[in-house]
Structure 1
Amino acid sequence: MSKRVDPLELIRKYYDPASEAYRILTIHSERVTAKALDIVDRHPEWHLDRDFVAEAAMLHDIGIFLTDAPSIDCHGTEPYLMHGALGADLLRKEGLPRHALVCERHTGTGVTLEEILREGYEMPHREMVPITLEEQIICFADCFYSKGNVEKLTVEKSVESLREKQRGYGQDNLERFDAWCTLFL
């Protein structure tokens, strides 16, 4: 069992609630959380930790403020691709190692060490692919929502558009996404 946390309280520790970054992060995270919890609720036979999924889904993008992404009011110095690893570092410091793994492993359908090295991604050199069902559910739910203007925040992407996007990242990503569609939809 994981340490329990109030996600909004923790987000407010790092974000000004009056900022656009806070608004974007919380709306996006609420959408991802709702989708993830819908999956959890449809599968009671999996005996998943619903409270953990709710908390981790709300916190999965906590590291965005440390990145250089002015379109979402984030004015840090790191490349956006690092937001998961940066958020994981924050959550580890907060005593939330299990939540940190969700941050680290949620980008796209996950990022393998092979992809990091092959593509030259500015990321730590380690496997960052979701492993547990809870991690996979949050990662999958995150695929359906973007961060940005109100339309991007509130419109759920179609499975077909997501398949096309994953196809662009390679066969492994597409296969992971398709397997999740079979399992979660």
Structure 2
Amino acid sequence: MPRKLLRKLFPNPDKLKEHKHLQFLGDTLHLPYLWHLNRRNVASAFAIGLFCMWIPIPFQSIIAALLAVFFRANLPLAVVLVFVTNPVTMPPMLYGAYLVGAAIVGHPPAGFNFEPSLDWLMNGLILIWKPFLLGIFITAVLSSLAGYYGVHLLWRLHMLKHLKERRERKQRKSPPPANDQDSAD
């Protein structure tokens, strides 16, 4: 079951509480709902992590952790999901978000030449900031909703499969019902 695998991969809350750099959080890491693996906490963590991965600033994981505490979601899962974006995946994702925003605003994407310089960031980004931020917001919300409802759907399908298997095992173990005519003889 995925829950057992995730528990092995997640950090131990007791060890995190003892970590010297996390002492400033106090009892926050002791809150049990930050570590639960139930449908609500996992779905909320997916929504938070997939939303925060679109934020084009450093330290997205800190934002995800704060939102996980605020919305009572699974903390490790929310933080780990932010790392879908990395230096390799971020540029195409952000360009795709810009294309989504440009399509919604209604003007064709600007034919700009990207240069990794402060000058381009100040002058080039000023031309595309509206469709860029709109596209980021829309893709963040859509991926967040897809993650939230996708987890609910997958969890439900898993539970239905589990219940079906349980019923089949129970039917195999139970003897067939006795015939009433045989007992009357």
**TM-score normalised per structure 1:** 0.28
Higher relative contact order (CA 8 A, sep 6+): 2
TM-score normalised by the chain length of structure 2: 0.28
Greater per-residue helix proportion:
2
